[in-house]
Amino acid sequence: MINYSLLENNIAKYSKLFNEAEPHKHLVIDNFLESDAADIAYKFFPKMEEMDTLKDFRQNKAQDPDITKFHSIFSQIIFEHLHSQRFLQLMSQITGISNLHGDPKLYASGLAQGANGSYLNVHIDNSSHPVEPWYRRVNLLIYLNPNWKEDKGGHLELWSKDMSESVAILPIFNRMAIFATDKQSWHGHRHVHTPDGDTRKSINIYYFTEKSPDGSDYYHVTSFRARKNEIFNKFLYPVDNLVRTVARNFRRNKDEHAVLLEQKDTTDKK
């Protein structure tokens, strides 16, 4: 289902592009899935109302790790391919990060979707897995949006740590994007503009290691940051980040609220 020949024939090229990318390490590959698999995944992508939703001042989107309730193509893509040893080895060769592994519980992963007006403001992800001693290291997204044009927005944004520069990646059909996740991997996606009823669809997963990106033992919550033109958020987000950090520190299990594939009782609000 994955275009393995494309990846395996271009490892050196992709590794160079990933490790030299700015503002932080990332890579974009088009035609990532075999065409039949991409077509089936798009055809059977669930409707917004069939997915869990996340809507607050930080984000407005649907996100659902329980892919077992959807078409089997999604379980096949993730568990049989994206989590396979063959693909994990390719990811390690491209990123230079050894001992990568997938998450069978799909913490904060699975399928994501955004209708007209949806967004995900700039943030760094929670550093750790909620039930395993793992650190997030790589985020992988596969976009399934035919006929997606610039005016529909929804670009994936990757920001420098001082918010002075960014890159914007259009979420077009069968495009894969990966980026390293660490203390400074600020990212989000722009507002979606689809009055025609179209939605921004993606498969997204994380890869983890037992070792942190810098070798130290640390923890941080998902933390948001304002863009330069978001005046109100410049005051709101530092307070919000602090409140959630303090609240987590008082919990015996910092991320006990997390939605996992095998225990989906509440919505992961990050």
> What's the pTM value of the predicted model, to 2 decimals?
0.94
Assess contact for 134 and 209: CB atoms under 8 A: yes
Cα separation values, 90 from 37, 52, 111, 163, 179, Å: 20, 32, 23, 31, 14
Residue 66: strand pairing partners:
none
Angle, helix 85-95 to helix 11-20, in steps of 10 degrees: 50
The model's confidence at residue 257, banded by pLDDT at 50, 70 and 90, is: low
The model's confidence at residue 109, banded by pLDDT at 50, 70 and 90, is: very high
| Greater model confidence, 165 or 260 | 165
Q: SS3 for 81? A: helix
The tokens describing 55, both together, are 């809507």
- 126-165 per-position pLDDT tens digit: 999 999 999 999 999 999 999 999 999 999 999 999 999 9
Q: SS3 for 247? A: helix
CA pair distance 23, 122, nearest whole angstrom: 14
CA pair distance 200, 172, nearest whole angstrom: 9
The model's confidence at residue 254, banded by pLDDT at 50, 70 and 90, is: low
For the purposes of burial, counting CB atoms within 10 Å of the CB of 15, is it exposed (0-12), middle (13-18) or buried (19 or more)? middle
Q: SS3 for 171? A: coil
The tokens describing 36, both together, are 């039949």
